[in-house]
């Protein structure tokens, strides 16, 4: 056997001995689009976190002398209709938009995973109630539900995160319910039962962790939904309230000046587009990497 053949055989054998997590990561990381998406999201997160050190302007400070100023060394992207530095507001706006997306999806994942796991593992009336409630929620036009709730209870940031979480958990619950229903019949569940473990311990210690890859995929795709929802609600004046910047309310404020300076709408719109596209790309990559039929 040649040296090349021996090397190829060694590589194949080492890959067969890799853990499932390693194989998933390798399949995920090999896609160029995924690496670019991770770079984009990582860049957004780092820049937003370091906002006070990256700009010398305050996002809410007006300068009525420099209203609608063009791009210059002082203001790299110019100023808006109130003389505020656009680049500064974009950086700080990323904090609000990304934070709403991440926090609301954490809430949706916790709620959806819990209800889906309980429905799938215990079955019976619990499964019936949870499944019918999911069907009822999915039959409601969710965006109009968001508008109604925020109109009634106010559009504060906590309310915004809460209502997006409460309208984003159903897909997670369905996925977890299906996987838990399939996994509860495995032999390790019978073995744990025979050893005297409680049903709750078996569910949350042994069965639910098997659904982790699917939950991560659903959460990643859900963050994109949450960012779109926040941007749309802020655009309509029911999300993050000015003068606190978010990409959505910056887009709303710029719509009155679209013919005077189209770049005012292009900047926040492009960041919304890039962030949603990046999260969807990461979610698609994770879904393909965790799909056994793709290997």
pLDDT per residue as tens digits for the range 210-230:
888 888 888 888 888 888 888
Residues 6 or more apart whose Cβ sits within 8 Å of residue 47: 54, 91, 94
For residue 127, CA distances in Å to 5, 27, 122, 191, 272 come to 54, 35, 7, 24, 37
The residue written with tokens 């194949």 in the block is 12
Pick the range with the lowest mean pLDDT from 13-22, 165-174, 243-252. 13-22
The architecture of the domain spanning 22-294 is: Orthogonal Bundle (1.10)
Burial, 51: exposed, middle or buried (Cβ in 10 Å; 0-12, 13-18, 19+)? middle
105-158 tens-digit pLDDT:
999 999 999 999 999 888 889 999 999 998 888 888 887 888 888 888 877 788
Task: Report which DSSP code applies to 65.
Answer: G
pTM: 0.84
């Amino acid at each position: 056997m040649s040296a090349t053949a021996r090397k190829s055989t060694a590589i194949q054998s080492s890959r067969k001995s890799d853990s499932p997590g390693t194989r998933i990561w390798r399949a995920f990381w090999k896609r160029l689009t995924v690496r670019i998406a991770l770079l984009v999201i990582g860049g957004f997160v780092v820049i937003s976190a370091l906002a006070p050190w990256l700009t010398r302007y305050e996002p809410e400070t007006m300068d009525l002398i420099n209203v609608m100023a063009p791009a210059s060394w002082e203001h790299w992207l110019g100023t808006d209709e109130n003389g505020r530095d656009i680049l500064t507001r974009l950086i700080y706006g990323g904090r609000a938009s990304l934070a709403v997306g991440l926090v609301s999806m954490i809430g949706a994942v916790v709620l959806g995973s819990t209800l889906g796991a309980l429905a799938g593992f215990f079955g019976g009336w619990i499964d019936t109630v949870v499944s019918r409630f999911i069907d009822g929620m999915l039959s409601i036009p969710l965006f109009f539900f968001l508008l109604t709730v925020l109109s009634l209870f106010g559009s504060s940031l906590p309310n915004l995160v809460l209502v997006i979480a409460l309208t984003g958990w159903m897909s997670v619950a369905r996925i977890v319910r299906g996987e838990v229903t399939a996994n509860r019949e495995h032999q390790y569940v019978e073995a744990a039962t025979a050893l005297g473990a409680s049903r709750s311990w078996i569910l949350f210690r042994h069965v639910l962790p098997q659904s982790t890859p699917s939950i991560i995929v659903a959460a990643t795709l859900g963050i994109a939904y949450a960012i779109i929802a926040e941007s749309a609600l802020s655009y309509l004046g029911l999300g993050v309230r000015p003068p606190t910047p978010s990409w959505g309310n910056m887009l709303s404020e710029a719509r009155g000046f679209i013919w005077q300076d189209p770049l005012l709408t292009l900047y926040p719109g492009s960041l919304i587009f890039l962030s949603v596209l990046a999260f969807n790309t990461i979610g698609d990559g994770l879904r393909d990497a965790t799909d056994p039929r793709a290997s």
